[in-house]
Amino acid sequence: MIVLSGYLPEMAKAEAESMIKAMKGSVKKVDNNLMFFEVKNVSNLYRLGLAHSVHEVLLEANKKNFFDAVQKMKKIKGPIAVRVKFMGDKKPAEKKIIDAVWRQSDRKVNLCKPKNVINVFVVEKRVIVTRLVFEIDKSFIGSLKKMPFKKPITMDPRIARAMINLTGLTKGRILDPFCGTGALLKEAATVGLRCYGSDISEDMVKGAQKNLAFFGLKAVLRKADATKLKSIWHKKFDAIVTDPPYGISTSLFNKNLKELYTKSLRSMKSVLKPGGCVVIAVPKKLERSVIINARKLGFAVDTRIEQRVHKSLRRVFVRLYT
């Protein structure tokens, strides 16, 4: 089970689902911010941007018969620490719950370095007992503050990570043709993908290079117009993840916004491998035309997630497949 972040819940769900599918697993259900799934190996879930932790489910019971059900739960071996998380309004007796779980263990408690961190989630009418597999390392979120070359356009690292994970890519080549300060590339390189980026602005390319070098990460970066990618990239990519200008603060370099999206989508298609995927952030006002154009170009549109950035900007994350 994954505890998803409450920030951008739809995106959190889609991101986790993509990574589970990439590992040939399947999602069983989503209850509040808890995603239940089956997968052989959970190791790739460490890279989720919009999730808190990964757990093994030990028991799922109705609140009414929890105290009977817990007695039939498999015994937990080794010292434990029990934490109860209430996700509804009513809070049943926390101490009683902890005591009931403790009785199903070796009855040794270690709150500092327990072998088993047992979480009990009380969600409306259900109680779920889990063993923590791992907490997701959130240190990448603070990276934004440390970046030497920052701009207001720099993508939030959690969203950048989620956009990368929406591709489900665990190896291969990824391109950001509107790379700006390189925030998307930084997350892609962190999870081990081979990164390529371009931007029409020389300053951005230099800045992105500086940022990646600062984190000890590698990417091939070029100055290039995203509407002419084939002339600069003589290779094909497994995925493209990108955040083109919204036509508000970013310079459009004399291009009409709609035309920029149409031409750059065509250009992206020309450098994508068959079956490759594009995850693109689109201003809401352009969503319809981008989707119509993408379909005309032969892309299949399979996911859209909306986000209100601020009062005057709504954007939509769209995933396309060739």
Ligand X SMILES: C[S@@+](CC[C@H](N)C(=O)[O-])C[C@H]1O[C@@H](n2cnc3c(N)ncnc32)[C@H](O)[C@@H]1O
In the complex, the residues that contact ligand X under the rule CB under 6 A are 153-155, 177-178, 180-181, 183-184, 199-201, 204, 225-227, 243-245, 250, 252-253, 255, 260
Closest approach of ligand X to the CB of residue 144, in Å: 9
Minimum CB distance to ligand X smaller for 63 or for 266: 266
Minimum CB distance to ligand X smaller for 18 or for 264: 264
Closest residue to ligand X, judged by C-beta, is: 180
Instruction: Give the whole-angstrom CA distance, residue 128 versus residue 275.
Output: 39
**Beta carbons of 204 and 191 less than 8 angstroms apart:** no
Closest approach of ligand X to the CB of residue 114, in Å: 39
Minimum CB distance to ligand X smaller for 25 or for 247: 247
For β-strands 116-123 and 34-38, DSSP reports them as: unpaired
Tokens describing residue 100 = 């009931």
Minimum CB distance to ligand X smaller for 32 or for 209: 209
| Selection from 101, 163, 198 nearest residue 315 by Cα | 163
Give every CB contact of residue 282 below 8 A, 6+ residues apart in sequence. 244, 261, 290, 315, 316, 317, 318
Closest approach of ligand X to the CB of residue 260, in Å: 6
Closest approach of ligand X to the CB of residue 152, in Å: 9
Angle ∠(87,12,187) on CA atoms, nearest 5: 135
* Torsion angle in degrees (nearest 10) through CA of 280, 154, 161, 215: 130
**Cα radius of gyration rounded to whole Å, the chain:** 22
Closest approach of ligand X to the CB of residue 3, in Å: 27
Minimum CB distance to ligand X smaller for 225 or for 238: 225
H/E stretch holding 321 = strand 313-321
Minimum CB distance to ligand X smaller for 13 or for 255: 255
Closest approach of ligand X to the CB of residue 293, in Å: 16
Q: Please list the alpha-helical segments (H only) found in 79-196.
A: 94-102, 143-146, 157-166, 183-190
